């Protein structure tokens, strides 16, 4: 089984559209959407949900007002400004303490130190994850709750489940839509993968972000390739990125032209290679051939 | 007044909007600060080209165990919710990248064997870009904790009439940290199914946080009507629309400020800043 993660450094470079196209070209692979903050792959692949699971990423504190003696210890130990003081509730109670669930980091100190045992500290429901069927193979994806954290843990969970399915069903390729940036969810999506494909664009921001994300893949010793999307928007920078990719030790995997068909296909909710056979789909096919070649070598 | 520019989906033009707003406001004589809080991939400096005057390191506290004082009682490992400190039969181990700096291990250690030391996670650079005071945070490669970095960038801001925050993309911890405490958030989106889906998540986040917001539609002549219909149905104000102009894309690719290279777009940004300022009930001293 080979695991390919498609990431981008900079957001909005077309990584999800390309992952969707790869899914269609691969025919049968296991798909995983690890861009849990802004999961969009399902909009192209139209998964039919088979299993639904709750995701508990960490715990969260809750003050039981009737037991609280208003001593203020919790507020003193909390380093995340998550304990708020609320005004008088009755003539006998000048103030009460409350946890701001969004600010709570789930460290548990308040519950540990509360002298009145007034703080409940239970696993918090952070979202849901799904195992689905698509026309292109099984898919694992998730939905993080509103303003919830723990995205890194959710990413690790999705990858683990997707791998399990690939092994059980003996499916050769695992395609993962990663997240933008270089932080927690990205690290969780690439550690231990066989290959990373970085999709960038020929803009100064794209180049800058590529340098950062290439440093990240090197830091974790993961072989990485680059694809330049919308390469014809700035040919000069495309040349510069190609040159720098080599210096950064990245394999140049291909270039994709700019086309409004990408958005049209998205509106029609289908992978671009099924929407059109024009130039852009040819570009993506060529990119896929190179990527497959590298993946099989690794 | 603090305004954040955010978006659920990446690459919708958040940085372009933030930079151009700062540009028009500073040209109207305001004291502006721009804080680039996209610490994983900061890009605003590419457009503003600030002169960096100061650099400093940002650290978080992690435990350091004095193995001589430690009796291997295991209390530190018990309280830590993140497996960042583990008491083994012969030794206590610390995994610095996993530590959330809650301070619990130092508090519970009965032998006072745990000290807290600072560990660098990134750097802040600050300086001046024309009339705009500028700061950005750069998270070190391999670090997972961007929220403390974002908090530090927000702390670095000088007193200014208008602080514009370029937030990271997404809807989880880093974005929440970036928009916490702002007066208004501008959500940038694209009129596409991806744009709409991620916009809904961002709206959910801001409503949970009780932060006022409005929407800017970028590349507005692409895609479909989904975003507009959604905004209508949910009484969300569309603050501005920016067309899909190839000249904007090219100018962006070269790292230029749109209002400078394509001055005909200045009026969109001037109107946008006035609308937002009026929404927050604030007044700027000059007529932008
Ligand atoms: S520590 Fe416990 S008793 Fe004291 S204020 Fe907090 S919740 Fe109430
Ligand atoms: S669990 Fe930790 S972060 Fe949450 S309120 Fe208690 S002390 Fe604060
Ligand atoms: S400071 Fe908190 S998170 Fe860090 S090791 Fe100690 S208990 Fe764990
Ligand atoms: S709590 Fe203190 S004494 Fe106990 S194992 Fe941890 S460091 Fe050692």
A10 pLDDT more than 70: yes
For the entire predicted model, the pTM comes to 0.93
Does any CB of chain B come closer than 8 Å to the CB of residue A221? no
Question: Is the Cβ pair A102, B46 closer than 8 Å?
Answer: no
CB contact under 8 A, A8 and B10: yes
Mean pLDDT of B181-192: 96
- Atom of ligand 2 at shortest range from CA of A107: 2
pLDDT of B183: 96
The single-letter DSSP state of residue B167 is: P
In tens, the pLDDT along A163-181 reads: 999 999 999 999 999 988 9
**How confident is the model at residue B282, as a pLDDT?**
72
Higher pLDDT, A252 or B30: A252
CATH node for B2-31+161-279: 3.40.50.300
Looking at residue B284, its pLDDT comes to 62
Q: Which regions of chain B carry the CATH code 3.40.50.300?
A: 2-31+161-279
What rounded mean pLDDT belongs to chain A?
A: 94
Pick from A96, A100, A104, A48: nearest CA to A71: A96
Q: Outline where DSSP puts E strands in chain A.
A: 2-7, 30-33, 48-63, 83-86, 96-99, 119-134, 137-144, 173-177, 195-200, 224-229, 251-256
Interface contact flag, B172 A148, Cβ < 8 Å: yes
Query: Of A109, A182, A267, which has the smallest distance from its Cβ to B40's Cβ?
Result: A182
With tokens 């400093």, the residue in question is B56
In chain B, residues under CATH classification 3.30.70.20 are 59-120
Residues A280-289 have pLDDT tens digits of: 999 999 999 9
Asked if B9's CB is within 8 angstroms of A266's CB, the reply is no
Is the domain spanning B59-120 CATH 3.30.70.20? The answer is yes
Interacting residues of A90 by C-beta distance below 8 A, sequence separation 6+: none
Q: For chain A, list the domains and their CATH numbers.
A: 2-54+127-297 (3.40.50.300), 65-117 (3.30.70.20)
- DSSP output for B92-143: EEE-GGG-----HHHHH-TT--EEEEEEEEEEEEEEEETTEEEEEEEEPTT-
B160: pLDDT strictly greater than 90: no
The pLDDT tens digits for B109-137 are 999 999 999 999 999 999 999 999 999 99
Pocket of ligand 3 (CB under 6 A): B 63, 79-80, 82, 84-85, 99-105
Q: Which residues contact B238 (CB under 8 A, 6 or more apart)?
A: B214, B215, B216, B217, B228, B231
Q: What is the dihedral of CA A109, A114, A119, A120, to 10 degrees?
A: 60
Instruction: Give the residue ranges of DSSP H helices in chain B.
Output: 14-27, 44-48, 75-79, 104-108, 146-155, 173-179, 193-209, 226-233, 246-253, 258-261, 266-279
**How close B133 gets to chain A, by Cα (Å)?**
21
Pocket test for ligand 2, best of A62, A76, A83 (most atoms within 8 A of CB): A83
Q: Which residue of A has its CA nearest to B204?
A: A146
Tens-digit pLDDT profile for residues A29-47: 999 999 998 899 999 999 9
Q: Around Cβ A85, how many Cβ atoms within 10 Å?
A: 12
Q: Which residues contact A153 (CB under 8 A, 6 or more apart)?
A: A57, A58, A188
pLDDT category, A95, cuts 50, 70, 90? confident
| 3-state SS class at A195 | strand
Q: What is the residue-wise DSSP string for A41-79?
A: THHHH--EEEEEEEEEEEEEEEE-TTT-----HHHHH-S
Length of chain A measured in residues: 298
Residue A137: per-residue pLDDT: 97
Tell me: pLDDT of B283 over 70.
no
Is the minimum CB–CB distance between A113 and chain B shorter than 8 Å? yes
Q: Cβ contacts (< 8 Å) between B8 and chain A: which residues?
A: 37-38
CA of A152 to the centre of ligand 3 (A): 18
Atom of ligand 1 nearest to the CA of A110: 1
Of B11, B108, B208, the CB nearest to A11: B11
Residue B260 has pLDDT above 90, yes or no: yes
End-to-end CA distance of chain B: 15
| B214 pLDDT above the threshold of 80 | yes
Counting one residue from chain A and one from chain B, the pairs whose CB atoms sit within 8 A come to 183
Residue B3, beta-bridge partner list: B164, B184
Nearest 5°: phi and psi at B40? -80, -40
CA dist B209 and B184 (Å) reads 11
Candidate of B79, B80, B102, B108 to mutate for ligand 2, largest count of ligand atoms within 8 Å of Cβ: B102
pLDDT band at B194 (very low <50, low <70, confident <90, very high): very high
Ligand 3 geometric centre to CA of B101 (Å): 5
Q: Are residues A266 and B107, on separate chains, in Cβ contact within 8 Å?
A: no
Radius of gyration of chain A measured on its C-alpha atoms:
23
Within 10 Å of residue B71's Cβ, how many Cβ atoms? 11
Residue B67: predicted pLDDT: 94
A17 HSE (CA, 13 A, CB side): 32
């Amino acid at each position: 089984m080979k695991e390919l993660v498609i990431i981008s450094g900079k957001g909005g470079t077309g990584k999800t559209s390309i992952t969707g196209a790869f899914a269609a070209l691969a025919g049968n692979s296991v798909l995983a959407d690890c861009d849990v903050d802004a999961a969009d792959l399902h909009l192209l692949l139209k998964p039919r949900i088979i299993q639904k699971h709750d995701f508990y990423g960490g715990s969260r504190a809750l003050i039981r007002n009737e037991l609280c003696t208003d001593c203020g210890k919790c507020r003193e130990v909390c380093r995340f400004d998550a304990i708020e003081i609320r005004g008088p509730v009755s003539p006998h109670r000048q103030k009460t303490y409350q946890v701001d669930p969004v600010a709570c980091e789930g460290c548990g100190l308040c519950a540990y130190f509360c002298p009145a045992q007034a703080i409940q500290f239970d696993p918090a429901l952070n979202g849901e994850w799904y195992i689905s069927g698509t026309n292109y193979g099984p898919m694992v994806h998730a939905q993080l709750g509103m303003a919830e954290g723990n995205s890194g843990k959710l990413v690790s969970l999705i990858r683990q489940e997707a791998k399990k399915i690939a092994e059980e069903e003996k499916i050769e390729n695992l395609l993962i839509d990663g997240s933008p940036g270089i932080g927690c969810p990205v690290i969780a999506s690439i550690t231990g993968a066989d290959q990373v494909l970085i999709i960038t664009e020929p803009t100064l921001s794209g180049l800058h972000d590529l340098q950062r994300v290439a440093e990240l893949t090197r830091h974790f010793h993961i072989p990485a390739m680059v694809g330049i999307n919308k390469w014809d928007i700035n040919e000069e920078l495309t040349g510069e990125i190609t040159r720098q990719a080599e210096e950064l030790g990245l394999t140049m995997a291909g270039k994709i032209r700019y086309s409004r068909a990408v958005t049209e296909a998205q509106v029609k909710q289908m992978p671009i290679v099924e929407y059109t056979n024009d130039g852009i789909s040819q570009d993506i096919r060529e990119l896929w051939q190179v990527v497959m070649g590298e993946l099989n070598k690794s | 007044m603090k305004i954040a520019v955010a978006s659920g989906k990446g690459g919708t033009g958040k940085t372009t909007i933030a930079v151009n707003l700062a540009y028009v406001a500073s040209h109207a004589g305001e004291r502006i600060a721009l804080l680039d809080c996209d610490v994983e991939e900061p890009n605003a400096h590419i457009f503003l080209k600030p002169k960096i005057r100061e650099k400093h390191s940002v650290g978080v506290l992690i435990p350091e165990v004095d193995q001589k004082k430690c009796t291997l009682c295991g209390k530190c490992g018990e309280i830590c919710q993140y497996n960042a400190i583990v008491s083994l039969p012969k030794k206590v181990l610390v995994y610095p990248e996993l530590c959330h700096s809650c301070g619990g291990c130092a508090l519970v250690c009965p032998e006072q064997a745990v000290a807290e030391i600072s560990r660098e996670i990134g750097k802040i650079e600050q300086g001046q870009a024309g009339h705009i005071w500028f700061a950005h945070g750069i998270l070190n490669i391999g670090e997972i904790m961007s929220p403390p970095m974002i908090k530090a960038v927000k702390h670095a801001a000088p007193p200014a009439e208008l602080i514009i925050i370029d937030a990271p993309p997404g809807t989880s911890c880093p974005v929440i940290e970036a928009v916490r405490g702002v007066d208004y958030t501008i959500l940038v989106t694209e009129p596409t199914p991806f744009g709409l889906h991620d916009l809904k998540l961002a709206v959910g986040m801001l409503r949970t946080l009780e932060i006022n917001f409005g929407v800017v539609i970028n590349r507005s002549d692409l895609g479909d009507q989904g975003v507009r219909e959604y905004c209508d149905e949910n009484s969300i104000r569309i603050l501005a629309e920016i067309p899909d102009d190839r000249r904007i894309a090219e100018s962006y690719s070269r790292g230029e400020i749109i209002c400078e290279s394509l001055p005909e777009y200045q009026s969109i940004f001037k109107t946008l800043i006035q609308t937002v300022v009026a929404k927050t009930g604030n007044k700027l001293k000059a007529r932008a």
